């Protein structure tokens, strides 16, 4: 009976996270449309460009800090809290400001990197809150608050540089204050785990993960004609919706995965991994079916981006997103494992496969070709990581574990 209610509580929590994630996406879209209307397309484009640079900078200057917090907390974080959350990222921001200002003097790197640092602090705060089990508020804080503050700052000033600086200062004040409170709470718990801080590998995994998600848009955008790439990018956005439950699964299960790995509890690790797969896989299938129905209607209505093979390209993209959902738990386990090198290898493999395919195809590679190569890179790298984790820890991080578990239960009952 307890297991029944515990299971339903877990998936009720996952459903609330999924609804929150959808709401955050809606808020982001509404904010961007409002900013475009308020600022005009020229100022809006400049603002979004600086915002995108700051988001990339957050991953680079963060040095894998959110993952380190998940691995070390709740008992072992205090000793390295300042270095992980403040000192190292601040030094990287200063170095980045000196280097980038000399290379690209026309960009206000002070405002951009201040915003990157502020967003990094929010990510650290969200990670610390996830450890305590407050996944809903931490997701709203990390993904919802920044764009709302950006909208408020843009209402104060139509200048992109000043709006970015206002956003950075407001988020910085909030992030520093909140993290100082967290630091004081963690101080009572003490502890040390310097030997479990493979910081460079976590940093590399974060940077490669960002590159893995954007590499096809960068290369396809450089090689395809603008009108064809526009359709590719739009369909890619559509396929990303299928992978929406993956991020929810990560948020819901990461603390349990980290605890199981720290305790060396294989049963608990398999349970957390299977829970993540269940949260990600079935909703992803449902969303994929809805997208396929929408594509069918669009194709029947002769929508331009779905003609001339566009519908087939969309199906390939959806297949890649479904494969990502099938192995949803793999990167969560890999990033929180004692050595995250396997996750780094898998991400690097994906980049090499896609980059190699594009290099072979060159400018002759069609939009459909880019979609096929990217889906293949996603599937092969995920398969590699699943195999490695299965050998190292004896856990099945794929959705296939769900059917294996059902068969085992049926066998025991027979």
**DSSP assignment of 365-379:** --HHHHHHHHHHHHH
The encoded tokens of residue 356 equal 């190699």
Q: Please give the pLDDT value at position 384.
A: 92
Residue 13: phi, psi to the nearest 5?
Answer: -65, -40
CA 34 – CA 74 distance, rounded (Å): 40
The packing angle between helices 160-187 and 109-131, to 10°, is 30
**Is 244 in a helix, a strand, or coil?**
helix
Nearest of 3, 6, 14 to residue 252 by alpha carbon? 14
Q: How far is CA 322 from the centre of its chain?
A: 16
Q: What is the pLDDT of residues 106-141, one digit of tens each?
A: 878 888 888 888 888 888 888 777 766 666 777 777
**pTM for this prediction:** 0.70
Residue whose C-alpha is closest to residue 212's, from 235, 253, 240, 232: 240
Q: Give kind and range of the element (H or E) at residue 305.
A: none
CB under 8 Å to 83, separation ≥6 — which residues? none
Q: What angle do CA 54, 56, 62 make, to 5 degrees?
A: 90
Write the CB contacts of 320 (distance below 8 Å, at least 6 apart in sequence): 239, 371, 374, 375, 378, 379
pLDDT of residue 2: 37
Domain boundaries, the chain: 2-195, 203-413
The C-alpha atoms of residue 141 and residue 412 are separated, in whole angstroms, by 44
Give the Cα separation of 305 and 320 in Å (integer): 19
Contact between residue 66 and residue 129 where contact means Cβ atoms under 8 Å apart: no
C-beta separation of 107 from 46 below 8 A: no
Query: What pLDDT is stored for residue 37 in this prediction?
Result: 76
pLDDT at 184: 56
pLDDT on residue 376: 93
Q: Are 240 and 321 in contact (CB under 8 A)?
A: yes
* Cα–Cα nearest to 399, from 242, 280, 249: 280
CA distances from 229 to 99, 280, 302, 310 (A): 32, 29, 19, 11
For residue 243, give the nearest of 279, 212, 280, 214 by alpha carbon.
280
Q: Can you list the positions of beta strands (E) in 206-282? A: none
Alpha carbons 219 and 224: distance in angstroms, whole number? 8
Q: How far apart are CA 339 and CA 271, in angstroms?
A: 21
User: Which DSSP category does 198 fall into?
Assistant: -
Rounded CA gap, 48 and 55, in Å? 10
Cα–Cα distance measured from residue 314 to residue 291, given in angstroms and rounded to the nearest whole number: 9
Q: What is the pLDDT of residue 247?
A: 79
Contact assessment for residue 350 and residue 216, using Cβ atoms and an 8 Å cutoff? no
- Give residue 414's pLDDT: 42
Going from the C-alpha of 198 to that of each of 64, 82, 204, 380, the distances in angstroms are: 9, 17, 10, 26
The answer to whether 326 and 281 are in contact (CB under 8 A) is yes
Say what angle helices 160-187 and 41-62 make with each other, to 10 degrees: 30
Give pLDDT < 70 ranges for the chain.
Answer: 1-15, 17-18, 41-42, 45, 70-81, 131-135, 158, 160-161, 175, 177-200, 202, 303-305, 339, 404-414
pLDDT of residue 3: 44
């Amino acid at each position: 009976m307890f297991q029944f209610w515990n299971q339903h509580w877990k998936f009720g929590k996952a459903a609330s996270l999924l609804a929150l994630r959808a709401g955050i996406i809606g808020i982001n879209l509404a904010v961007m449309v409002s900013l475009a209307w308020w600022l005009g397309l020229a100022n809006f484009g400049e603002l979004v460009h600086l915002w995108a640079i700051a988001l990339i900078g957050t991953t680079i200057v963060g040095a894998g800090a959110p993952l380190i917090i998940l691995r070390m907390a709740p008992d072992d974080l205090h000793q390295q809290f300042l270095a992980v959350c403040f000192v190292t990222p601040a030094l990287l921001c200063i170095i980045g400001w000196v280097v980038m200002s000399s290379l690209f003097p026309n960009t206000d790197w002070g405002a951009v990197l201040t915003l990157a640092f502020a967003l990094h602090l929010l990510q650290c705060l969200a990670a610390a809150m996830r450890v305590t089990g407050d996944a809903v508020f931490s997701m709203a804080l990390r993904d919802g608050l920044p764009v709302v503050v950006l909208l408020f700052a843009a209402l104060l000033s139509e200048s992109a540089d000043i709006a970015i600086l206002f956003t950075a200062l407001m988020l910085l004040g909030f992030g520093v204050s909140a993290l100082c409170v967290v630091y004081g709470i963690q101080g009572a718990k003490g502890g040390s785990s310097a030997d479990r801080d493979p910081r460079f590998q976590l940093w590399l995994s974060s940077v490669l993960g960002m590159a893995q998600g954007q590499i096809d848009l960068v290369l396809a955008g450089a090689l395809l004609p603008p009108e064809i790439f526009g359709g590719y990018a739009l369909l890619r956005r559509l396929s990303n919706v299928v992978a929406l439950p993956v991020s929810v699964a990560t948020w819901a299960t990461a603390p349990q995965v980290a605890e199981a790995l720290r305790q060396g509890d294989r049963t608990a690790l398999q349970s957390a991994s299977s829970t993540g797969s269940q949260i990600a896989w079935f909703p992803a299938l449902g969303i994929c079916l809805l997208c396929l129905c929408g594509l069918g209607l669009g194709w029947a209505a002769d929508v331009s981006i779905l003609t001339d093979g566009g519908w087939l390209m969309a199906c390939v993209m959806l297949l890649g997103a479904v494969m990502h959902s099938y192995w949803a738990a793999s990167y969560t386990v890999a990033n929180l494992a004692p050595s995250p090198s396997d996750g780094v290898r898998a991400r690097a493999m994906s980049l090499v496969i896609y980059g190699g395919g594009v290099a072979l195809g060159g400018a002759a590679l069609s939009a459909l070709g880019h979609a096929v190569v990217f889906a293949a890179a996603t599937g092969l790298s995920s398969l590699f990581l699943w195999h490695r984790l299965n050998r190292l820890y004896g856990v099945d991080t794929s959705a296939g574990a769900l059917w294996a578990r059902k068969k085992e239960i049926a066998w025991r009952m027979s």
